[in-house]
């Protein structure tokens, strides 16, 4: 297998003027959904080419076709000027294409070396391949700042290092073309900068890089050319230096989009939420929250920044009522029960907390249920939804859902549609409608715009700020620094179960927050 | 005098432990290969049972135990193939498929046995070349005189049927295949994260089928051992839950070959004790009843499955059919 790959590489390496990749007329349909419509794309050798588009615009489908995960219904792929049919991932690998998926394809309890050689072993025995990989890794780590401990278990590595392993996997297979799908979603700003240095190094060696992202700032920062996709079509390909984020956003959505969030200065009122010395120990005995103290006032948004997995989820779970903890939490001066009989979602809702969970698919919705059924969750005891002690009033619930869908611009506004059939943005609007319209004193919002398209982001941000202006307290958890910076009136940074510090958005920047998120900088709150 | 009597008892117990562990080793390794590839295999029991029946039948018809064993292995592989089709190709529920296989084997062996031999589900007694016989290892008699090690070699290690040695050799062989070969690396990877294998351009389906078929071969050997080596005929339900005990041993061993050997030997020891010493007299104060010693392996199984013995992390993709993500 490996010898084939080498041969293929040498052949394609010969004509250097041809584009590294050329797609002609690629189309792909999933049932009635046309994911890719007659797409043509040409990427020059040695360039970093960005592909932007909203969720469901067809970016991932196109790249999956290029990597052999799907077969296109029509169209041709040229690699290095040569027509290359790609029927499976093996064909793509042989053609010199490597892919770093958004969700890493690593075996967690294998070592780095084992992951690197998996599928590209030289013979029946592992030992020679492992030795060869060890040598190559040492070379690559010097050349491209790609240092990783070859004997470390993947599960013990940070996300940034795991991503390096994915890149090393591609390089070990002698990839000339590297596709990265949303590579910075899980990285701290410092890790993202490091990644960009690696990519620039690879580019200097003549590698071609395709970067799929929804972060326009990254496109502007690192790409040479950029293509925009909308609804399965390639709407534009431009030189990065000739465009602007506003221009790209307009091309993505098809109308003018406000990238900056417009908001008045906050007018904080009484203290709504007070947290003191909150501690959570999980079932494995690991301390997830190590003594958190926070306060949120009425009419302000407190943003919690941090790389995911540093205790933000546990904090939301405690406040949402489905994780026990020690310490004190007071809502409007009254202490909440953190361990006992009144520590559940229902009690929390009754006391005036509404919760938009971080993972809407697992905690916010039941995807198989219809929109109106989802609208009842947490509020099924509401007299409005019940005829009597036994029967629910489904007609009233459906009507209520229809009205909420109207007010939150959920499309399509069909209460009977299953939740899974809405786009990410519309699913999120359903959850928001359910929670916000309860008129809570405190709104917990986790990752409000994860997997949500730009148009819907604008709407969701507006609604959150509107709620703040009505004098509600809002606790926002997000891994998107931009979102934290633009929405929050005050920012707390979490790292390793602790608050690393609080900043005002106007007095800080991504760099400082990034350092705090990585556990560096002064520890203030503790 | 007392001492030498205890020593003989010990030798007999060890000898018996080895004999009864064989089935568990084969079945445990079968489960190991299957589950390491991400396919739960609750049908070890059924595969062993169908193999035991066909091994005995074919042996009886041909008069050649080796041909009989091949017959048993073939039958077990057919069942493995059914499990593969339902759980890999058609992405069905692996537990239900396994249970179905157990029921099918349990019913089919009795029906066929009655139809062919009319002995209440039994197969006729095997003798001569139609069953496995004990082999004496070289120098077994000359070395017996050496204190301690001599009898251990001559009376415990020597004097078993060929499949016993095959079973014990399978343990290092399995370890070597899993941890030293390309196939083993891919097999372990596909049980942990099939997407990693798929994106590397390797067929998940082919790998898993291979693993399931290996499990079929090993269960086939286990079944053949039961009816043509340990016993001399097939008896109704003769596997007696050993497939489930093997699964418990597999969990106990955290899906590792050497640990599995230890776990199966422990279960084997318990079974040997209950076979050899039905009523254990405790200092003349009271007697542990035979029912209790016989129940010991099953009690240990429940204890292990209930998770009292540390935390065992199964292969992460176990039980889940692989579907390509968008």
A61 and A118 together in one domain: no
Burial state string for A468-492 with b = 16 or more CB within 10 A and e = fewer than 16? beebbbbbbbbbbbebbbbbbbbbb
Q: What angle do CA B243, B246, B249 make, to 5 degrees?
A: 160
The CA distance from B40 to B33, in Å, is 10
Could you tell me the end-to-end alpha-carbon distance of chain A, in angstroms, rounded to an integer?
Answer: 56
Domain boundary among the residues A129, A145, A174 is at A174
Residue A6, domain member (yes or no): no
Q: How far apart are CA A322 and CA A137, in angstroms?
A: 44
CATH code, domain carrying A251: 3.40.50.300
pLDDT at residue A432, rounded to an integer:
94
| pLDDT (tens digit per residue) in A360-373 | 888 999 999 999 99
Please tell me the distance in Å from B202's CA to the nearest CA on chain A. 7
Using one digit for the tens of pLDDT, what is the confidence trace for A432-459? 999 999 889 999 999 998 878 777 888 9
Question: Is the pLDDT score of A43 beyond 90?
Answer: yes
Q: Which domain holds residue A448?
A: 271-525
Q: Which of A63, A136, A46 is nearest to A99 (CA)?
A: A63
Percent of chain A topping pLDDT 90: 62
**Which two tokens mark A219?**
């496109």
Which chain A residue shows the shortest CA-CA distance from B189?
Answer: A107
Distance CA A108, CA A100 (A): 16
Domain annotation covers residue A308: yes
Is residue A190 very low, low, confident or very high in pLDDT (cuts 50, 70, 90)?
confident
Q: Which pLDDT score is estimated for A8? A: 41
For residue A12, the model assigns a pLDDT of: 43
> Domain ends where: A154, A174, A194?
A174
Of A69, A106, A117, the CB nearest to B193: A106
User: Are residue A110 and residue A45 in the same domain, yes or no?
Assistant: no
> With bands split at pLDDT 50, 70 and 90, how would you rate the model's confidence at A260?
confident
Phi-psi region of A76 (alpha: psi -120 to 50; beta: other; left: phi over 0): beta
Reading phi first (left if > 0) and then psi (alpha if -120 to 50, else beta), residue A330 is in beta
Mean pLDDT of chain A: 89
pLDDT for A265-299, tens place per residue? 888 999 999 999 999 998 878 899 999 999 999 99
Q: Quick check: A128 pLDDT over 60? A: yes
**Which of A228, A257, A286 is the endpoint of a domain?**
A257
How far apart CA A437 and CA A472 sit, in angstroms, is: 12
What's the distance, CA A518 to chain centroid? Answer: 18
Tell me whether residues B192 and A107 touch, CB distance under 8 A.
Answer: yes
Based on the domain organization, do A404 and A291 belong to the same domain? yes
What pLDDT does residue A216 have? 85
The predicted model scores a pTM of 0.81
| In chain B, domain spans | 2-308
Closest Cβ opposite residue A106 in set B188, B196, B198: B196
In a domain, A264, yes or no: no
- Whether pLDDT at A89 is above 80: yes
- Lowest-pLDDT range of A12-16, A286-290, A301-305, A374-378: A12-16
Structure confidence at residue A393 (pLDDT)? 93
What is the crossing angle of helices A394-407 and A424-436, to 10°? Answer: 110
- Indicate the pairing of strand A301-305 with strand A490-495: parallel
User: Cβ of B197 and A119 within 8 Å?
Assistant: yes
* In-domain check, residue A265: no
Residues A198, A129 within the same domain: no
Q: Which residue has the higher pLDDT, A102 or A32?
A: A102
Report chain B residues whose CB lies below 8 A from the CB of A68: 201
3-class secondary structure per residue, A367-433: CCCEHHHHHCCCCCCCHHHECCCCCECHHHHHHHHHHHHHHCCCCCCCCCCEHHHCCHHHHHHHHHH
Do A322 and A182 sit in the same domain of this protein?
A: no
What is the DSSP code (8-state) at residue A158?
A: -
Asked if residue A266 belongs to a domain, the reply is no
Residue A14 lies in a domain: no
pLDDT (0 to 100) of residue A11: 43
Say if residue A169 is in the same domain as residue A24: no
What pLDDT does A16 receive? 57
Tell me, yes or no, whether A420 and A499 share the same domain. yes
pLDDT at A525 over 50: no
Does residue A12 lie within any of the structural domains? no
Does A110 lie in the same domain as A82? no
pLDDT (0 to 100) of residue A522: 54
pLDDT value, residue B211: 98
A448 touches A428 (CB < 8 A): yes
Which residues on neighbouring strands pair with residue A368, listed in sequence order? none
Q: Do B180 and A88 touch (CB under 8 A)?
A: no
CB atoms within 10 A of CB A282: 11
- Please give the ipTM for the structure prediction: 0.89
- Dihedral pair phi/psi, residue A92, rounded to 5°: -65, -45
Q: Residue B292: what pLDDT?
A: 85
**Residue B288's CB: how many other CB atoms inside 10 A?**
14
pLDDT at res. A6: 42
Residue A370 pLDDT: 94
**pLDDT > 70 in chain A, percent:** 95
Low-confidence ranges of chain B (pLDDT < 70): 1-3, 307-311, 325-326
Which neighbouring-strand residues pair with B282?
B286
In a domain, residue A7? The reply is: no
Same domain, A182 and A164: no
Distance CA A228, CA B326 (A): 20
Give the total number of structural domains in chain A.
3
Do A422 and A371 contact (CB within 8 A), yes or no? yes
* B2-308 classified as CATH 1.10.287: no
Position with higher pLDDT, A58 vs B101: B101
């Amino acid at each position: 297998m490996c010898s084939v790959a080498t041969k293929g590489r040498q052949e394609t390496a010969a004509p250097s003027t041809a584009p590294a990749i050329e797609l002609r007329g690629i189309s792909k349909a999933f049932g009635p959904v046309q994911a890719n419509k007659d797409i043509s794309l040409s990427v020059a050798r040695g360039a970093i080419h960005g592909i932007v588009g909203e969720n469901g615009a067809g970016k991932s489908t196109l790249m999956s076709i290029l990597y052999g995960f799907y077969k296109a219904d029509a169209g041709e792929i040229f690699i290095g000027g040569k027509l290359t049919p790609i029927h499976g991932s093996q064909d793509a690998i042989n053609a010199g294409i490597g892919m770093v998926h958004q969700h890493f394809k690593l075996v967690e309890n294998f070592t780095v070396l084992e992951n690197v050689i998996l599928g590209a072993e030289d013979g029946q025995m592992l030992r020679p391949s492992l030795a060869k990989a060890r040598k190559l890794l040492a070379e690559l780590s010097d050349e491209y700042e790609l240092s990783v401990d070859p004997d470390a278990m993947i599960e013990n590595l940070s996300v940034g290092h795991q991503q390096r392993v994915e890149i090393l996997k591609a390089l070990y297979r002698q990839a000339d073309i590297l596709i990265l799908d949303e590579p910075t979603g899980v990285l701290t700003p410092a890790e993202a900068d490091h990644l960009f240095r690696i990519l620039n190094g690879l580019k200097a060696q003549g590698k071609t890089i395709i970067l799929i992202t929804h972060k326009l700032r990254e496109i502007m920062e690192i790409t040479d050319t950029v293509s925009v996709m909308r609804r399965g079509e390639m709407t534009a390909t431009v030189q990065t230096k000739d465009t602007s984020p506003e221009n790209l956003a307009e091309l993505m959505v098809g109308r003018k989009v406000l990238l900056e969030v417009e908001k008045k200065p906050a007018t904080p009122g009484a203290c709504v939420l007070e947290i003191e010395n909150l501690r959570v120990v999980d079932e494995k005995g690991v301390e997830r929250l190590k003594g958190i103290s926070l306060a949120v006032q009425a009419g302000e948004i407190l943003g919690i920044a941090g790389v995911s997995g540093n205790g933000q989820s546990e904090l939301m779970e405690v406040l949402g009522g489905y994780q026990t903890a020690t310490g004190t939490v007071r809502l409007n001066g009254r202490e909440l029960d953190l361990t006992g009989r009144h520590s559940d979602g229902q009690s929390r809702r009754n006391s005036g907390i509404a919760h938009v969970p971080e993972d809407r698919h697992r905690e916010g919705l039941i995807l198989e249920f219809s929109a109106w059924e989802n609208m009842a969750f947490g509020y099924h005891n509401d007299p409005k939804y019940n005829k009597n002690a036994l029967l629910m009033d489904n007609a009233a619930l459906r009507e209520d859902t229809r009205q909420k869908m109207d007010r939150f611009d959920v499309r399509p506004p069909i209460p009977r549609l299953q939740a899974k059939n809405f786009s990410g943005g519309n699913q999120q609007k359903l959850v928001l409608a359910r929670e916000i319209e309860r008129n809570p004193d405190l709104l917990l919002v986790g990752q409000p715009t994860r997997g949500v398209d730009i148009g819907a982001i604008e709407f969701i941000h507006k609604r959150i700020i509107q709620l703040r202006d009505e004098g509600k307290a809002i606790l926002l958890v997000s891994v998107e620094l931009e979102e934290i910076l633009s929405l929050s009136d005050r920012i707390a940074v979490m790292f390793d179960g602790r608050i690393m510090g609080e900043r005002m958005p106007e007095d800080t920047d991504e760099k400082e927050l990034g350092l705090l998120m990585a556990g560096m900088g002064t520890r203030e709150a503790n | 005098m007392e001492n030498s009597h205890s020593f003989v008892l010990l030798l007999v117990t060890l000898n018996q432990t080895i004999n009864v562990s064989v089935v568990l080793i084969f079945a445990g390794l079968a489960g190991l290969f299957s589950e390491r590839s991400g396919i739960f295999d609750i049908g070890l029991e059924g595969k062993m049972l169908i193999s035991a029946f066909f091994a005995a039948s074919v042996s009886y018809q041909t008069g050649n135990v080796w041909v009989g064993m091949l017959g048993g292995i073939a039958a077990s592989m057919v069942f493995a193939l059914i499990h593969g089709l339902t759980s890999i190709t058609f992405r069905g529920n692996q537990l239900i498929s396994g249970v179905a296989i157990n029921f099918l084997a349990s019913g089919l062996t009795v029906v066929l046995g009655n139809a062919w031999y009319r002995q209440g589900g039994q197969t006729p007694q095997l003798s001569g070349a139609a069953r496995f016989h004990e082999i004496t290892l070289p120098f077994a008699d000359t070395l017996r005189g050496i204190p301690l090690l001599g009898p251990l070699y001559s009376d415990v290690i020597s004097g078993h049927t060929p499949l016993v040695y095959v079973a014990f050799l399978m343990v290092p062989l399995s370890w070597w295949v899993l941890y030293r070969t390309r196939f083993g690396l891919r097999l372990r990877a596909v049980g942990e994260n099939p997407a990693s294998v798929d994106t590397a351009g390797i067929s998940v389906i082919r790998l898993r089928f291979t693993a399931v078929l290996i499990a079929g071969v090993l269960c086939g050997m286990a079944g053949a051992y039961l009816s043509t080596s340990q016993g001399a005929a097939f008896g109704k339900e003769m596997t007696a839950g050993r497939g489930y005990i093997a699964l418990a041993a597999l969990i106990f061993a955290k899906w590792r070959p050497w640990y599995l050997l230890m776990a199966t030997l422990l279960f084997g020891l318990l079974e040997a004790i209950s076979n050899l010493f039905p009523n254990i007299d405790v200092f003349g104060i009271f007697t542990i009843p035979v029912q209790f010693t016989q129940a010991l392996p099953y009690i240990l199984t429940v204890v292990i499955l209930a998770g009292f013995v540390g935390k065992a992390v199964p292969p992460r993709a176990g039980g889940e059919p692989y579907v390509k993500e968008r």
